[in-house]
Amino acid sequence: MSIIHDRLCRYFFSSNFKYCLSVIFILLVLTLTACDSNIVSQVLKPTLSGRTVHVNGNGSVSGEPDIATLNLGVSIQRNSVAEAREVAASTMTALIDSLKANSIAEKDIITQNFSIYPQYDYWEGERKLRGYRVNNTVQAKVRELETLSDVIDDAAEAGGDNIVLNSIQFMIEDTTPLQEQARAIAVKNAEAKARTIAEASGVTLGKPVTITENSYYESPPIPYAVAEEAFADDAARTSTPIVSGELTVTVNVTVVYEIE
């Protein structure tokens, strides 16, 4: 019995036993740490003082549009659906042919609306059928803006009195370079505001904690006179004046700075 006791004592105080205890302790600590997300987050995430300043920054950059989108078509009214549809089909075909003749690719011409509905007159409380109206409109993307006036004038000639031009919208196909410039301006604007607030408050501005942004661009309005001139019945046709102006890309950022 004493021999067994002596052997157990020698084992417990041996280096092998101490090594085993060390391994078990380390595994236990790692297990507890993995189970406690708070411990991990405190190690990986720097603590904030709780003192922050929130500022908004704005940046705007203007550029010339390189694409125009036209929404146009025909509107036909006749006594019967068959007659209205037939006239609308032939007129719309002529209009689309004029678009293609001005180098507008077929992939850039998309039908937006086609409708047929009755037209009524109301007289002394009674409803009388006047005929049927067929509307057919397309969206055409003009990539060569220098041809835009000819596109509108030729479409008006092809559609005649049945032409309808609903809208013109100018766009920039790739706004990425303008957005990058506007974003840099917005961030600098936010930083300048934050430093002014910190200096006025007698505190030291720290690093930004969070940054969020929102970007958009504004299109100049198109006067209705542009469409009206396209349909003017003049013996000598005057080219329709089109002014594309500039588009403004704006980026707004919200930045939260820590106060040291």
Per-residue pLDDT tens over the stretch 140-168: 999 999 999 999 999 999 999 999 999 99
Average pLDDT over residues 110-127: 92
For residue 225, what pLDDT is reported? Answer: 39
Query: 60-93 burial by CB neighbour count: b if 16+ within 10 A, else e?
Result: bbeeebebbebbbbbbbbbeeeeebbebbeebbe
Q: Kind and range of the H or E element at 247?
A: strand 247-259
Q: Which residue has the tokens 């190690």?
A: 43
pLDDT in tens, 46-91: 445 568 999 999 999 999 999 999 999 999 999 999 999 999 999 9
Q: Can you tell me the distance from the alpha carbon of 77 to that of 217, in angstroms, rounded to the nearest whole number?
A: 39
For residue 124, what pLDDT is reported? Answer: 80
Q: List the structure tokens of 148.
A: 């835009």
* pLDDT greater than 60 at residue 222: no
Q: List the structure tokens of 249.
A: 């890309």
